[in-house]
Amino acid sequence: MLPIEFYFDAAIKGLLTGSVYAMLAVGLSIIFGVMRVVNFAHGEMLVAGMFGAYLVFVTLGLDPILAIPIVALVMFLFGVVLQRGLIDRFITAPEHQQFLVLIGVALILTNGLDMIFGPDARNVQVPYAFASFEVGPFFLDNVRVYSAITALALIALLYLFFNHTLTGKAIRACADNNRGAQVVGLNVSRLYAITFGIGAACAGAAGCLLIMVIDVTPHLGADFTLLAFTIVIIGGLGSMTGALLGGLLIGVSEAMAGILIQPSLKSSFSFGLLILVLLLRPNGLLGKRSS
Amino acid sequence: MRSLFEGVPARAAWGLVCVIVLLYLAPLVFGGYVLSVLILCCYLAVLGQAWNVMMGFAGQLSLGHALYIGLGAYASGALFFHFGLGPWIGLIPAFIVAGAMGALIGWLGFRFGIRGVYFALLTIAFAEFVRILFDHWGWVGGSSGMFLPVQNRNIDMDAASIANAFWTLRGPNWVFYYVILTGMVACLVIVRLLMRTRVGYYWLAIREDQEAAQAMGINVLRYKLLAVVISAMMTAFGGVFYAFYNNTLYPESIFSIDRSIELLLGVIIGGIGTLFGPILGAFALTWLGEGLSITQEWFDIDGLKLLTYGVAMLAIILFRPAGLWPWLRRLLGMEERRPDA
């Protein structure tokens, strides 16, 4: 039997990592909630963000947290171009065609990164990589604390954007009633492009935060796409609060599974949870019931 | 025979017979490398045909078909490894295990009204879940893999030895080639016949409009389940073949989502919801892949092959969303006459 502090320690670590997961998942959730398009390339966009932060670190020596504006802007533009050039044509196409388009994008992203950077793992060592705060009996790594705070702050910003700006409200209008939005004269296609850009920027920002904790290789994408899906389904596709909750839940449950059962079994835990939620509450813990 | 060729123009039927005969004669001309690529083509065509039953005809998207490859491969592989039972006996448990798993996923999914995106995610979740279980299951080798004993690559050319090679699936490459080629033709025939029966028409009705199909009195749940189970069993046949052809099984690679994607790529390129699309797609994609692999090694660029797959997939979806086969069929004047025309 492990001392009780051990569990608390794991839970806190899980919460901190979970905030970054939530950042990633919020992007996926926004894209689905507004456009009803499932971004099968979301994890790959995260990996692109990780490589972006790595590049900024190597060339400019900038801390990944400070690299967020640069990386997020690039990813935003990438998202806008992708939506405008490709995905916009498939908005009304059958669901499986949308999937396949995004799976194609995912293949191109992963292997494009592989061609540029090669298959080796890369990482970023910030000066405070091994420092930690001591809070009572717990030691919290600076890296995790800073990235969790940044992630939560960015999610809060997004929340303000969607609730208190005109563009944000217009995007929500598209999500609520697409035709109604068109009738009142909103440029739905432009708003979709912005939405997809924001989703991609979320993935990019999450990449900046994640590169401080784990090494990046081009082929990580699929795992993170699945992780993001798990979180978003558990929280409810299309709900921002749900994504936040799901992210924290998965973060904690992975950390707990890591100490209670074998670490290599920990993702079976999230998949098991995903299957259960799909069966029992297919719209997620906080999702709206579909009619 | 009649329903096999009913409505098919004579030139198309003769063309098909010629192609199949040529494929059967191929080992007389080609050996080594070309033959091994042809084996891959047929293998991928079997998997594609299986996936196409579920997605192309019954309209249920699965992104976790690697699960059935893996179950088939492990069911027969483990029986051979532990008890020395041959592949044709192992095929029975492989069918049962994969069919049961398909029925379970299908039943859970359809019973709880999970559709579209959610159903596809359910299939991925199951595949990943089972992958992790196999990673930790010592009896089948866990993550360090299971290796089937290999012997007599070269056999005597008398009838008994040849029969034995086919029965045990231990022998030179041409044995494997004939097995998988016959499997491919058998799948084609089975699916063609199924599509001429009531079941096939029910599937198409469900694919086009599930509510309407239900209103017409079709037991939607039963026929969707049937599609999943048949598809899973056909995929499991591919899995059994994979186990005995490759002799090495790693959960990491066999259950991987990349495999699920790879097997549907060929169908997309060839033509989803057509009989020959999966075959055409598998042959086109495999040869393209081989060419790209060689280029990749020459120029030492990682990822070139899969990058091109991605581009090819986007190009097909953008410019020929129905796939290559419907276009080629029109070009060759081999379109089927509609029964009412």
**Could you tell me what percent of chain B has a pLDDT over 90?**
61
Question: With b meaning 16 or more CB within 10 Å and e meaning fewer, what string describes A205-231?
Answer: bbbbbbbbbeebbbbbbbebbbbbbbb
pLDDT exceeds cutoff 60 at A290: no
Q: What is the arithmetic mean of pLDDT over B57-63?
A: 91
- The answer to whether B304 contacts A111, with C-beta atoms less than 8 Å apart, is yes
* Of A97, A115, A267, Cβ closest to residue B303: A115
Q: What is the arithmetic mean of pLDDT over A138-153?
A: 89
Amino acid found at A172:
R
* Of A99, A119, A275, Cβ closest to residue B126: A275
Residue B143 has what pLDDT? Answer: 86
Amino acid found at A234:
I
Nearest-angstrom CA–CA distance, A156 and A148 = 12
Q: Which pLDDT tens digit goes with each residue over A184-221? A: 888 888 999 999 999 999 999 999 999 998 899 998 89
pLDDT exceeds cutoff 80 at B78: yes
- The answer to whether A233 contacts B118, with C-beta atoms less than 8 Å apart, is yes
Which of left, alpha, beta for A140 (phi over 0: left; psi -120 to 50: alpha)?
Answer: beta
C-beta separation of B70 from B258 below 8 A: no
Residue A224 has what pLDDT? Answer: 92
* Of B112, B301, B314, Cβ closest to residue A104: B314
pLDDT exceeds cutoff 50 at A149: yes
pLDDT exceeds cutoff 90 at A135: no
- The answer to whether A108 contacts B310, with C-beta atoms less than 8 Å apart, is yes
This complex has an ipTM of 0.84
Best-predicted range by mean pLDDT (A238-242, B135-139, B233-237): B233-237
Work out the minimum CA distance from B86 to partner chain A, whole angstroms: 32
Q: Which pLDDT tens digit goes with each residue over B25-43? A: 999 888 789 999 999 999 9
Q: Inform me whether the C-beta atom of residue B163 falls under 8 Å from chain A C-beta atoms.
A: no
CA A198 to chain centre: 11
